Structure formats: C-alpha cells, structure tokens
Homo-oligomer: A and B are copies of this chain.
Amino acid sequence: MNSATRDKIIRTAMDLFWVKGYNSTSISDILSRTQVHSGSLYHFFPGKQDVLIAVLETYRDEIDVGLLDHAWEGVEDPVEKIFALLNGYRTHLLTTDYQYGCPIGSLALELHEPDPRVRELIDRNFRNWVDAVENCLVEAADRFPRDLDRRALAEFILTIMEGAIMQARTAQDIGLFDRNVDVLREHLDLLMKQRAMQDS
C-alpha cells in the first residue's frame, strides 16, 4: 500500500478541516492541494467521511508527538503543564490571525448529526485530552484538596480551553482568552489554598 499518497491526503485534510471546517472543504480542495487525482483518493478512501475518520484517528494516535511533547517542552511542573497546554492554543490563535482554533472542537460543533464512528472518534480525542490533564492533576495531587474530583476538574479545563478559543476567535481579541485562563488560574489557586488549610 502506497502510504505516501494516503498520508499526504490525510495531512492536507487535517489542515483544511482545521482552517475551513469539514463541510466547507471540498474533495477538489484536497485534490488540488495534494496534486492527487480523484481516482487515487478514492482508491484509498471509500468516501469523504472516511477521510475525516482517518484524520480523527491520526489526531487520536498522535496526541503525544503532535501536541503534548511540543507544548510541554521544558515544562516540568504539572500545574504549569496545564497552562502550557492552554498557551499552545493561544499561540496558534495569535500567529494565524485567529484562524486555527481547536481542530477537534470545531468539528464537534460543526457536525450536528454525525455518523456514530465520527462522534465516537471526536469523543475519544476529547477523552485523551482530558486524560492528559487529569494526569497532571494526579502528579500535583499533593497540592490540591484531598477529596478533589480530578476527572471533573480536567473536563472543566477542556471546557475552558474550548470556550476561551470560541470567544477569542469570535471577538478577534486575545483578551477574552487571557481573562478566561486568569479565572481558571484563580480557581486553581483557591483550591491549593484550601489544601494548605487542610494541611495546617
């Protein structure tokens, strides 16, 4: 199987779906960008949706190398790793004039009645992201209240990321992103103070 062509299609589709969305990206958009012809694409993928599935599988399989490793380079503290992750999205917004938000979140809201396989893959990507944050919280468990629901807080942090991107992009104002993160930071500070009280 010539995976070079297949891979080129997936990489291009990842980028196009990210910037333009799924419905606004046509097969011919992918073909012209990849210099691949339609018959070749349909040799590897039964249809457009299967390209989307391959894209989501790639995100799922590459969360470490594609996202976390880069965001956490040189960051050791588990709590700061959370904010470093958020800061990665902030940088994307700024360096692309608010064009690149969260590729998964965009798809999640754009596809209203998705095929079950698509829905489950989006869900899986969210859960992997939440897992990564939850692991940070586990690493920092000694700083947070003993009865903290770490899963719920990790889901909450995903929520903040998605909502902050949505608002900053719509307003084209990074202040909205920053203020959201500030409030999150304050919440974490309050939780850590709570733990300090427990310990004393």
Q: Is A57 an interface residue (CB 8 A)?
A: no
CB distance from A168 to the nearest CB of B (A): 10
B residues in contact with A160, CB < 8 Å: 156, 159-160, 163
CB pair B108 A170 closer than 8 Å:
yes
Q: Residues on A close to B: CB < 8 A?
A: 19-21, 23-24, 99, 101, 105-106, 108-110, 112-113, 119, 122-123, 126, 149, 151-153, 155-156, 158-164, 166-167, 169-172, 176, 179-180, 182-184, 187, 190-191, 194
A119-B170, A126-B170 are known contacts; what are 15 more A-B pairs with Cβ within 8 Å?
A: A21-B23, A23-B110, A24-B112, A99-B112, A101-B109, A108-B109, A108-B169, A119-B172, A123-B171, A126-B171, A159-B160, A159-B164, A159-B180, A160-B160, A162-B166
